[in-house]
Structure 1
């Protein structure tokens, strides 16, 4: 029925376009979207923000990974913000709650599988909590489902974060004052998230910019917004 309605609407749209004055058709501004710099938050999550990354140590000019904020959506019955990473065959979307109290990951989706975390995985603390020596840890129940809703695996994810340093770094995207954080994660669901053995990963975070270095070793090379 919806397809029929759209087909019926097309002649009407064409007729209206034919009746419109030529000046009004040519003067219509292009459709554009932008994110005002003043709206970029401590943990940047505004719709339309994008970041580009390359593996650390790789020569410049390679095909980048692109991280973009898709905007508000619903995941596991809760209002969340979706962020998608694409490039070089990668396609993963994360679902988070982001506010002044921190960043919490409720789950993510890969091709063919959706991973739900309960309670949510705390990825970052409250805005005012950052300091060298800060640490936090927790565990989440992991449920992996296929596209048809069948449960494929269940288990536990454990994580720990330690803020080790604050220093200035130079990257292809510029110079940044970063918080240096070590993350250790492990899971018992076949390594879908981390693996049976604890993995120690380092990330660099800058307020109002985001991850300058991701836990996977991707280094920031560009973004479509300026920090405060």
Structure 2
């Protein structure tokens, strides 16, 4: 008497189903990457906390393009001084600023671009003391500029002169949201070949940062929320 073929047929059907579904055996999940993150529990008037990140696009550009990304890298040393490093990347850009924020405001000690470090002495006052903001506020200054190559040699020296005017306070809307901004005009001259554009307008919002950068970039998103009570 022939042996029943049901068990063989079932096995064949099982093989076909397993092949169609990829596998009937449990699959190990792909391993994740080793990363770190910094919880953002608060943001200061001049945002300096490690891990804060902003995305920008040029004003007038079609939305959805590749952004420039600015991120606070955290505390480091620059010329032997404790500073906060902030880096911009995207579209081939790679620039890091070294700043100190204290009771006098925000001071820029220098910056780094591929192949060169720019040192400023005394530090450039980018923003005033927090309580000083008002329409009509002005501040000026002058710094000695030293350009240092990656090999440590001095590539150039000169003088940077800057002036700021707070023109108005108004509400603006960008892809990043609605903001109450201080409108500031910045004028710069230098003797090192026009390292910085001569005149720019920037928009600053406390507890948010630059809504419009001096380079004409508008804020499109950020990785932190406004403060409670509606105040940015």
| Stretches (4+) displaced over 3 A | none
Residue 33 of structure 2 is aligned to residue 34 of structure 1 = no
2:104 alignment partner in structure 1: 101
1:8 alignment partner in structure 2: none
Offset of residue 31 of structure 1: 5.8
Which runs of 5 or more structure 1 residues have no equivalent in the other structure? 1-29
Residue 73 of structure 2 is aligned to residue 74 of structure 1 = no
Residue 176 of structure 1, aligned match among 167, 175, 179: 179
Offset of residue 227 of structure 1: 2.3
| SS of match in other structure, 2:218 | strand
Partners of 2:144 and 2:217 in 1: how far apart?
27
Which digits, 9 at most, give the CA deviation of each residue in 1:55-82, with x for residues without a partner? 0000001100000000000001100000
Is the 1:113–1:145 Cα contact (8 Å) retained in structure 2? yes
1:149 alignment partner in structure 2: 152
Looking at CA atoms only, which structure, 1 or 2, has the larger radius of gyration?
2
Question: Taking structure 1 as the reference length, what is the TM-score of the superposition?
Answer: 0.83
Partners of 1:202 and 1:118 in 2: how far apart?
24
Q: How does 1:40-51 map to 2 (within 5 A)?
A: 40-51=43-54
Partners of 2:36 and 2:117 in 1: how far apart?
32
Which runs of 5 or more structure 2 residues have no equivalent in the other structure? 1-33, 228-232
Partners of 1:173 and 1:65 in 2: how far apart?
13
Question: Taking structure 2 as the reference length, what is the TM-score of the superposition?
Answer: 0.81
Is the 1:212–1:219 Cα contact (8 Å) retained in structure 2? yes
* Structure 1, 99-108 or 88-97: larger mean CA deviation: 99-108
